Amino acid sequence: MSYADPGPRSPHPDRPEPPEPPGRPGRSRRTPVVLLTALVCGGLLGWLGYEAVGAPDDGSAAPPPASASSASPAAPGAPSGSPGPSSEDGKGSGAGTLAGKVVVIDPGHNPGNFRHTSQINRPVDIGTDRKECDTTGTSTNDGYAEARFTLDVAHRLRTLLQRQGVTVKLTHDDGSPDWGPCVDERARIGNSAHADAALSIHADGAAPGDRGFHVILPAAVHGGAADTRPIAAASEVLGEHVADGFRRSTGEPPSTYLGGGTGLVTRKDLGGLNLSTVPKVFIECGNMRNRTDAALLTSGSWRQRAAEGLSEGIVSFLRGS
């Protein structure tokens, strides 16, 4: 904070100086001013020295003032822990350690799929076979849709990755398009972006007694338009990082019904993996039909931890650690 300089005072020749107080010979009235000036100068020099050396790293120092380049605040009325606004093209500020890296996030299904059953039921080529374009996904017993869950986690994950400088692209977002895209198109979006990593987010609809998460890895398939041999090994490494980060952050156990307790499953019947030419995995974050998992999946704070775990895994993979 700066103060305005009052400037020199106007002399008053018609007002004689008062006599010096008795018993204090030789001392000028300006002595307090001189002392004050010395104190101010000394304090300023001390502050400059402190700034040059640096404040102790104990968390007590005040943060620097915000500048024009600071990140935008959360939108008014946004709930605590919700992701803040992001740039329209999904590109981070570039200030993070992973500037130049590209990640494609594929939120499983689409909230509008149920209105377009004829479109999503038509078969498409997945390389080794033909399967339906997409499905509506599952939901909890209380009606919380998988497509809503996956989009929410995708938004949170995008925000976290952008803070690292990653360029993030979503296969669909907030009703655009209003259904799909089909599984083959989802793979092409990652391929066209030349993604360093791609992740498809899901939640399962297994038997009520089953719970836990699992990460799906692409098998090394070669047939028709599918050839995952060049990306199978890298995808396995990506999947291991994602599983480790997700488990640490959420505390969710590996699937009790698939993967033999490893949290990792390999499949060759998923078009989104078969047609990918970049490292890609799926994650089933939990079982929406299981009461314990459903309570977690419907919790905003848990979804934030899920996004943090996914981010941790992807960042670790991108750094090669």
- Strands in 214-218's sheet, in edge-to-edge order, are 167-170, 102-107, 197-204, 280-287, 214-218, 264-267
Q: Quick check: 140 and 298 in contact, CB under 8 A?
A: yes
| Annotation marks residue 132 as catalytic | no
Q: Quick check: 311 and 157 in contact, CB under 8 A?
A: yes
Give the count of alpha carbons within 13 A of 123, CB side only. Answer: 7
Give the count of alpha carbons within 13 A of 49, CB side only. Answer: 6
- Per DSSP, the three-state class of 222 is strand
Which residue among 146, 236, 240, 284 is the active-site one? 284
Q: Quick check: 74 and 127 in contact, CB under 8 A?
A: no
CA 81 to chain centre: 11
- One-character DSSP codes across 278-313: S-EEEEEEEETTSHHHHHHHT-HHHHHHHHHHHHHH
Q: How far apart are CA 181 and CA 219, in angstroms?
A: 23
Annotated catalytic residues are: 284
